[in-house]
């Protein structure tokens, strides 16, 4: 049995670039004896293998050859030299605009994509409701794609890609177009299909997501594969290379580019998690999860370094012993940053049926700019079963931290460090 999903051997792709449209005709008329073009090599002698079930990140600057490599793997382009071998069905979410016919409706494009991948229309009809539900674009599913916003397009494209039962899923930066709740839902689904054995190629400039999601990573530089290995090491190599002399000066050291306007409000009504998952209740219910300021106001636009309260009510429909309450803070990609339990293991409180208790977790928000999610859970001890969840809610609440003007901190967690000066 072949355990290799994708094999790339000595892959090179060279483009002919003509200075003027007429130069192409001139060269054809001379049967190639005269040259009116220059050559640009987007990929040069690239070789690697990806095993089935692996998640591999491909990173590099814009123009490093990432998209060209993906198009060669998908069969959209033909290599100048070398070969690509792909085992199994590939579903690709490439750059915005690729794959869908703008004059077709969303529904027609779903069926069209299924036909391209060799999936019978009856099967795509069976899967259509799941695709439409996941994309959540409502009545626009029967409107021409050309009127879609970028966010609507990527929602439908991603939903179609993951519901086509691919052996290999390729994602090229498209998720960066979606809003944070949709990204969270996408990352959760990526984890699910990864656990089912799907091979995933993930291209992103977000190094944190590459480290969290991927088993291995590849670094492309000017068309060459320079580093392959552990995602953390490869990501560090990429970030180091960003400071090389040939980097552009397009981004200036201007705080206004990173921070346009100071947030004055503390609550955004549109900041609602779309990826909430509520477990089946076994006798308790988590109600009204929310974040409060210390003076009791509901907030979801937080400030790094300040203290807040995560609150929810726990309603009990059965008596329970050794009850514990918990919370967990997670990133957009689902990485668990930290949490808190109300009591140590094998301890807790006894609760009678019909009781409603208010839970309050006070925490200092030592996080930097980004979007984050909160889980909530209630456990108890049951005879012969040990500790079980009476109720659990994933992504019960979400909050956002905006980069402060002139901030010199980077990353996800605020380690409260300071610069004390240069030592002689």
Nearest-angstrom CA–CA distance, 224 and 47: 10
Distance (Å) of CA 225 to CA 35, 72, 171, 228, 397: 30, 15, 19, 8, 41
Write out the H or E segment, with its range, that includes residue 356.
strand 356-364
| Separation of alpha carbons 277 and 328, rounded Å | 14
Second-level CATH architecture of 277-401: Distorted Sandwich (2.70)
Predicted confidence at residue 346, as pLDDT, reads 84
Contact 363, 307 (CB under 8 A): yes
pLDDT the model gives residue 119: 85
Q: Where are the domains of the chain?
A: 4-241, 277-401
Provide the residue-wise pLDDT of the chain in tens; the chain has 424 residues. Answer: 468 999 999 999 998 777 777 777 777 777 767 777 778 899 999 999 999 999 999 999 888 899 899 989 988 889 999 999 999 888 887 765 556 888 899 999 999 888 888 888 888 999 999 999 988 888 999 999 889 887 888 888 888 888 888 899 998 876 665 667 777 788 888 888 888 899 999 998 878 788 888 899 999 998 999 989 888 888 877 876 665 444 334 333 433 322 233 334 588 887 888 778 889 999 999 999 999 999 999 999 999 889 999 999 999 999 999 999 999 999 887 888 999 999 998 899 999 999 999 999 999 998 988 889 999 999 999 988 899 999 999 989 999 987 654 554 556 776 654 445 555 5
Give CA separation, 353 vs 244, 292, 316, 320, 322, in Å. Answer: 65, 28, 6, 8, 14
Architecture of the structural domain at 4-241: 3-Layer(aba) Sandwich (3.40)
Report pLDDT for 422: 55
- The pTM (predicted TM-score) of the whole model is 0.63
The owner of tokens 């940053």 is 337
Q: How many CB atoms lie within 10 A of CB 202?
A: 24
- The answer to whether 4-241 and 277-401 have equal CATH topology is no
pLDDT reported for residue 140: 92
């Amino acid at each position: 049995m072949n355990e290799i999903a994708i094999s790339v051997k000595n892959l090179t792709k060279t483009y002919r670039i003509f200075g003027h449209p007429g130069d192409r005709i001139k060269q054809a008329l001379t049967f190639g004896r005269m040259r009116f073009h220059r050559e640009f090599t987007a990929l040069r002698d690239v070789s690697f293998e990806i095993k089935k079930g692996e998640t591999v990140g491909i990173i590099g600057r814009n123009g490093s050859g990432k998209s060209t490599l993906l198009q060669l793997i998908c069969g959209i382009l033909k290599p100048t030299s070398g070969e690509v071998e792909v085992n199994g069905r590939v579903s690709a979410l490439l750059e915005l605009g690729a794959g869908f016919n703008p004059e077709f409706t969303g529904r027609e494009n779903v069926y069209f994509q299924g036909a391209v991948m060799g999936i019978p229309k009856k099967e795509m009809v069976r899967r259509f409701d799941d695709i439409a539900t996941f994309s959540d674009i409502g009545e626009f599913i029967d409107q021409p794609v050309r009127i879609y916003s970028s966010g609507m397009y990527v929602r439908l494209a991603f939903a179609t890609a993951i519901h086509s039962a691919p052996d290999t899923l390729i994602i090229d930066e498209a998720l960066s177009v979606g809003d944070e709740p949709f990204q969270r839902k996408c990352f959760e689904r990526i984890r699910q299909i990864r656990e089912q054995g799907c091979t995933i190629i993930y291209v992103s400039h977000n190094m944190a997501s590459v480290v969290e999601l991927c088993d291995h990573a590849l670094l492309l530089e000017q068309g060459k594969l320079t580093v392959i290995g552990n995602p953390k090491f490869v990501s560090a190599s990429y970030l180091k290379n960003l400071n090389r002399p040939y980097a552009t000066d397009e981004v200036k050291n201007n705080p206004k580019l990173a921070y346009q306007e100071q947030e004055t409000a503390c609550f955004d009504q549109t900041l609602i998690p779309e990826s909430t998952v509520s477990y089946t209740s076994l006798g308790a219910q988590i109600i009204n999860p929310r974040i409060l300021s210390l003076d009791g106001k509901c907030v979801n636009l937080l400030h790094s370094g300040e203290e807040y309260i995560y609150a929810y009510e726990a309603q009990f429909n059965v008596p329970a012993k050794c009850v514990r309450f918990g919370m967990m803070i997670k990133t957009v990609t689902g990485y668990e940053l930290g949490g808190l339990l109300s009591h140590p293991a094998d301890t807790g409180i006894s609760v009678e049926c019909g009781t409603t208790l208010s839970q309050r977790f006070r925490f200092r928000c030592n996080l930097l700019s980004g979007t984050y999610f909160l889980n909530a859970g209630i456990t108890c001890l049951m005879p012969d079963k040990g500790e079980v969840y009476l109720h659990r809610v994933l992504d019960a609440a979400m909050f956002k931290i905006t980069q402060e003007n002139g901030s010199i901190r980077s990353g996800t967690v605020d380690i409260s460090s300071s610069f004390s000066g240069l030592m002689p």
